[in-house]
Structure 1
Amino acid sequence: MTRLITHAQRTLIAVLAVIATAGLAIAYEVEPMRIILDLGSGRTSTIITINNTRDSDLPVEIVMKRRIVHPDGTQEFLPAEDDFSVFPPQALVPAGQSQAVRISYIGDPDLEDSAAFIAEVQEVPVSEPGFTGVVFAYNFGVAIYVRADDARADVAVSDISREVDGLVFTASNSGTDFAMLSDMALRLAVGEETVRLTPAQLAELVENPIIPPHGSREFRLPITGLPDGPLTIAID
């Protein structure tokens, strides 16, 4: 079982290497990429930083979107400009310099369930006079989670099955906060044999780990060749 997990990790490393190589052409960065705003503690504002590592100016605008995660892992993005104040909403970041952007949640202060949003940093494409080629623009999505007051996640695993390309199971979250499969550990047991998948391993095996409040997700782990017998998966 360990060899199978290691093989999946090697595959992921190869994919990440390709992405990293492609990223060299993007030549600008946004940080941080994941933010939690907590209504219970009064933290409703944050700052993201756009670093322009190019040798030319970078025009950008920030667009706020509501993030809906469906059971099959597909996502839907809806306009959310009324839920946030963004300053500045547009900026021209000089070559080699940075721009700080303040993002403040101004939506419903009495959320019953935590909500997920994206601050999309959109590069504004600019073409030089007389240029007739293709202008590429790159966008970054900063994940922003607005945590409801006293929100908690409560995850349970069910509907486990073996398939040709791996294990399939459903993770249901009956709580009011978002859960991340990659923040948990899973224990797989077949008879007397068990294997524990750490959060780091799950982060590499699962592309989209989000389990929304009062929602369910189907996950597939590329683990095959397990012994015959009853199979259980538990949150460890």
Structure 2
Amino acid sequence: MMPAAARRLVGVLLTAAALLASGIPATALNVQPVIIDLLSSGRRTSTVLTLQNTFSTTVPVELTARRLDVVDGELRETDVEAEDLLVFPAQATVEPGQSQAFRIQWVGDPEIQASQHFFVTVAQLPVVLPENQNAIQVLYNFKVLVSVGAPGAVSALAVQSVAIETGEDGVGRPVLMVSNSGNTYGYVGKNRLTLVQRAPNGDEILRESWEPEQLQQLMGLGLVPSGATRRLPINIRLPQPNGAVTVELTPVQDR
């Protein structure tokens, strides 16, 4: 049998991505920005993260920062807390209709040789409810991607391979393996991408290009840390689930 205290407080944790499919208004808490680019030295070693509370009640939140690694081509959060990324304040209580500013600051090596990446989690904390009140508390949980690079460092993205993966619907979709031999991170989604598919007999059956804004709708920004290789699916339906696909990335000026 569930204890009385547990009956009064049942927490439901939602990530920012889950809000879009949950039917729960995503405007109740608003975190901006959700992608942060910092430099390891100079004026851009810090920035401000803002949380807006549009609830009618006070919201307590806690911020934590953990390192990211690339494992099997996937960007994964580790259990390692970030000692060189300062988040201040780490906890706050935000009144209804108010905003709270948090400072995100790199305090590590100013001359890093490789890019560093983190998830800063903004987690809404449960509150104690009055006696004899049963309720379900929906707790919002936002992940903010923070990347740190050295001033003057450059990325060098290259498409290593393109595979066609067929889903349960029988439709083929392209999956890129993109490497970065540069000394800082790069975003695939900030390039122009041209994709060509040829049938097994060599005939060209698809040729299409996407500008950065369009490409980001299909695959996100496509972060590739320095010295890493990422597996990046593109959400398009290919005319055939077989044949060969080639991809060309073209840098776009002033992006």
TM-score, with length taken from structure 2: 0.76
- 1:186 matched to which residue of 2? 193
Structure number having the greater strand percentage = 2
Q: Is 1:107 matched with 2:108?
A: yes
Shift in CA distance, 203/25, structure 1 to aligned 2, threshold 3 Å: closer
> Judging changes above 3 Å, is the alpha-carbon distance between structure 1 residues 26 and 128 closer, same or farther for their aligned structure 2 residues?
farther
The residue type equivalent to 2:163 in the other structure is: S
Structure 2 equivalent of residue 155 of structure 1: 157
Q: What are the residue-to-residue correspondences of 1:1-236 with 2, within 5 Å?
A: 19=20, 22-24=23-25, 27-130=28-131, 131-164=133-166, 165-189=172-196, 190=198, 194-206=207-219, 209-221=222-234, 222-225=236-239, 231-236=245-250
Conserved 8 A contact 1:71-1:215 = no
SS in 1 for 2:108: coil
Distance 1:66 1:34 in 2: 15
Matching residue of 1:4: none
Deviates further, 88-97 or 103-112: 103-112
Name structure 1 gaps, 5 residues minimum.
1-15
Q: Structure 1 vs Structure 2: percent identity of aligned residues?
A: 32
TM-score for the superposition, normalised by structure 1? 0.81
The root-mean-square deviation of aligned C-alpha atoms, in Å, is 2.7
Give the unaligned 5+ runs of structure 2: 1-16, 167-171, 251-255
User: 1:200 is paired with a residue of what secondary structure?
Assistant: helix
Say how many residue pairs are matched. 221
Q: Which has the higher helix share?
A: 1
SS of residue in 1 equivalent to 2:20: helix
**Equivalent-residue separation in structure 2 for 1:34 and 1:207 (angstroms):** 11
Q: CA deviation at 1:49?
A: 1.1
Assess if the C-alpha contact under 8 Å between 1:159 and 1:170 holds in 2.
yes
